[in-house]
Structure 1
């Protein structure tokens, strides 16, 4: 019965088209097909050529793309005199039939999936008959019930916050429709908050409070079936983590500010110390060995120390010798004052020569010391360049060795006192010289000469003694 009805429909179509058409006409009687996933569906295409004789033709079924940029897929095709060609992707579940007498072609799909939901095109190519409508399209909808949706939250469920509840089914054809319902903590139905609204499965809640807590159920529905999910919302007071984070950030910022201030103060202090260090004379600078540890000992010139020790010993010996000579001179002046008066001009001259030699020796020693100090200064200049890198450590150790400078000042005062004693001795020798001059004026030259003849041997020994003093 159905086949007879289909034949009558095709005959009516042919009778209607033939009188008014002189070109190829291709059509698909049904615009849309629907089938449940896993089912079987047959698509039918009718074509009417301009000339009834079909010597050559090409009939092809194609699956059009649902996305832009995706190529069209050929499902099946047939050329007159050849076999039906099925595409590899559809092998085993697609078949094609052609009825030339009824001018009809059909495509059957089995085990349909969601990928089969698309538009399909039937095209007929006849040589010298390419005018008119050579292709027609139809759509296939594979019906799939919605999968169980996934409910989730976007935002923080705390007092006076804005949040979003989302609901999404991974599968569903046609596209499912989502709907949210709310229940209180006692699982009793209630209305959604006044300002809440939902769109495409997203429920937006604003300025939530404790009363917003409860159960929220989302249902995903299409004409094939439905599924649902439930989300439990518990609105809590603001956590203390926010205050803790704010406190930590504030503490870090304060610490960075303090460190910056400390670095600035240290650099300023170091700059001032460097300026004060540059203003100091080279003689006031202390030098340290670069191989010593940072808190190491002060640099010492061993050669200079040895020379200082030797000089100190020479000074002590000279003091002892001068002390003995002073005592012997006092004894000679007390016991043999008469001999000294007779000594006269020759004795005075010997004393002058001895003093001159002594002062000349002192001048030579001063020259040697000047050369020695000049060499030490050159070494200090070399060491200043060598130990320039130790300047920072010297700044830190300057306070530590401040007491050393005080001791040096004490020694300088001590040496200044020694210099004063030398000046006193020089004045005393000047007084002795004056006494010799007085003795020369008191005694005439002739009597001194006679006495000198009587005591020649004694003056010879005195002359030898003076040579030893020199």
Structure 2
């Protein structure tokens, strides 16, 4: 018993001197991805050393840091559409304006380390929209033709696939293929179209968030070059050049382009002599 009584003050002293954990802040999900117009949960948990009522703040980073939750209230665009449980915030009906990086700060003035924080990044996903498609109505055989498809609103960016007459066009398997498909930019390019490429084309956009969307199909007709029309056009142009050249030559020979054309043929009249000159020319007769 005496030995125990001797050790008891030492144990009590060690318990008093042993440090307790200061304020700590953490999250169970640093990156949150939710679909547009759904709810987003921004997790934040904390533990304090001795302060039972720490101050909780949420801020959103951007060009300027703005308050989300401060002094027990939600601020700005979050007022009336967000709730807090402990330090975890739930945003209702998120849009692209809500996407960004958030910071949870816990301030415990009575702790040895009186401030802790953690960051949560919110990404708002947008399903595909109906893409805009640029499909030419016609082309001539052997020419280079590009078909374009684009959805500028989907997040993450959509990938694209092309269909001809409701059948998907498979990506080319070798470098000798007559066409190329870029699934990221949505471009279908024919190196040299043939009559067999005539058909109804449409494009499908998808990004894994919502159902894929397809643009309205459009018919593209490929025709052979009209050699007779081209020859006739060349002949007409040559005839026009020849006629213009001959006409210019005839006009030139007739003096139409003469440098003296248009001058008046008026006889030259010398200026009258001054009276003093006349006196000099008279003879003096006595």
Q: Deviations over 1:399-458 (max 9, x none)?
A: xxxxxxxxxxxxxxxxxxxxxxxxxxxxxxxxxxxxxxxxxxxxxxxxxxxxxxxxxxxx
Query: In structure 2, what is the equivalent of residue 41 of structure 1?
Result: 40
Any idea what SS the aligned residue of 1:89 has?
A: helix
Q: Is 2:147 aligned against 1:165?
A: yes
**Taking structure 1 as reference, are residues 26 and 72 closer, same or farther at Cα in structure 2, changes over 3 Å only?**
same
258, 262, 272: which one pairs with 1:376?
272
For residues 313-332 of structure 1, the aligned pairs below 5 Å read none
Report the Cα distance in structure 1 between the residues aligned to 2:145 and 2:61, rounded to whole angstroms: 41
Any idea what SS the aligned residue of 1:115 has?
A: helix
Query: In structure 2, what is the equivalent of residue 110 of structure 1?
Result: 92
Query: In structure 2, what is the equivalent of residue 226 of structure 1?
Result: 212
Any idea what SS the aligned residue of 2:260 has?
A: helix
Q: Is 2:188 aligned against 1:203?
A: yes
Q: Deviations over 1:367-393 (max 9, x none)?
A: xxxxxxx983569xxxxxxxxxxxxxx
Query: In structure 1, what is the equivalent of residue 50 of structure 2?
Result: 52
Report the Cα distance in structure 1 between the residues aligned to 2:162 and 2:181, rounded to whole angstroms: 8
45, 53, 68: which one pairs with 1:75?
68
Any idea what SS the aligned residue of 1:269 has?
A: coil
Query: In structure 2, what is the equivalent of residue 88 of structure 1?
Result: 76
State the structure with more CA Rg: 1
**Taking structure 1 as reference, are residues 161 and 24 closer, same or farther at Cα in structure 2, changes over 3 Å only?**
farther
Report the Cα distance in structure 1 between the residues aligned to 2:187 and 2:64, rounded to whole angstroms: 34
**Taking structure 1 as reference, are residues 197 and 71 closer, same or farther at Cα in structure 2, changes over 3 Å only?**
farther
Report the Cα distance in structure 1 between the residues aligned to 2:189 and 2:109, rounded to whole angstroms: 62
Q: Is 2:266 aligned against 1:269?
A: no
Using the TM superposition, give the Cα deviation of residue 30 of structure 1 relative to its aligned residue in structure 2, in angstroms: 1.6
Report the Cα distance in structure 1 between the residues aligned to 2:154 and 2:99, rounded to whole angstroms: 12
**Taking structure 1 as reference, are residues 181 and 138 closer, same or farther at Cα in structure 2, changes over 3 Å only?**
same
Using the TM superposition, give the Cα deviation of residue 149 of structure 1 relative to its aligned residue in structure 2, in angstroms: 1.5
Report the Cα distance in structure 2 between the residues aligned to 1:130 and 1:377, rounded to whole angstroms: 124
CA contact (8 A) 1:153 1:166 kept: yes
**Taking structure 1 as reference, are residues 231 and 121 closer, same or farther at Cα in structure 2, changes over 3 Å only?**
farther
Using the TM superposition, give the Cα deviation of residue 133 of structure 1 relative to its aligned residue in structure 2, in angstroms: 8.0
Structure with the larger helix share: 1
TM-score scaled by length of structure 2: 0.63
Q: Deviations over 1:75-127 (max 9, x none)?
A: 2223xxxx42x232222212334x4xxxxx02121122233333322223445
CA contact (8 A) 2:171 2:181 kept: no
**Taking structure 1 as reference, are residues 53 and 134 closer, same or farther at Cα in structure 2, changes over 3 Å only?**
closer
Any idea what SS the aligned residue of 1:376 has?
A: coil
Q: Deviations over 1:10-37 (max 9, x none)?
A: xxxxxxxxx9986543211123334333
**Taking structure 1 as reference, are residues 107 and 189 closer, same or farther at Cα in structure 2, changes over 3 Å only?**
closer
**Taking structure 1 as reference, are residues 217 and 192 closer, same or farther at Cα in structure 2, changes over 3 Å only?**
farther
Across the aligned residues of Structure 1 and Structure 2, the Cα RMSD in angstroms comes to 4.5
For residues 161-310 of structure 1, the aligned pairs below 5 Å read 161-183=143-165, 191=170, 194-199=177-182, 200=184, 201-221=186-206, 222-229=208-215, 230-237=217-224, 247=237, 269-270=259-260, 286=267
Report the Cα distance in structure 2 between the residues aligned to 1:162 and 1:375, rounded to whole angstroms: 78
Q: Which has the higher contact order (CA 8 A, sep 6+)?
A: 2
Structure with the larger strand share: 2
Structure 1 portions without partners, runs of 5+: 1-18, 100-104, 278-283, 288-298, 300-373, 380-470
Any idea what SS the aligned residue of 1:134 has?
A: strand
**Taking structure 1 as reference, are residues 213 and 127 closer, same or farther at Cα in structure 2, changes over 3 Å only?**
same
Q: Deviations over 1:123-143 (max 9, x none)?
A: 234458796983222233434
Using the TM superposition, give the Cα deviation of residue 152 of structure 1 relative to its aligned residue in structure 2, in angstroms: 0.9
Report the Cα distance in structure 2 between the residues aligned to 1:152 and 1:270, rounded to whole angstroms: 61
CA contact (8 A) 1:155 1:164 kept: no
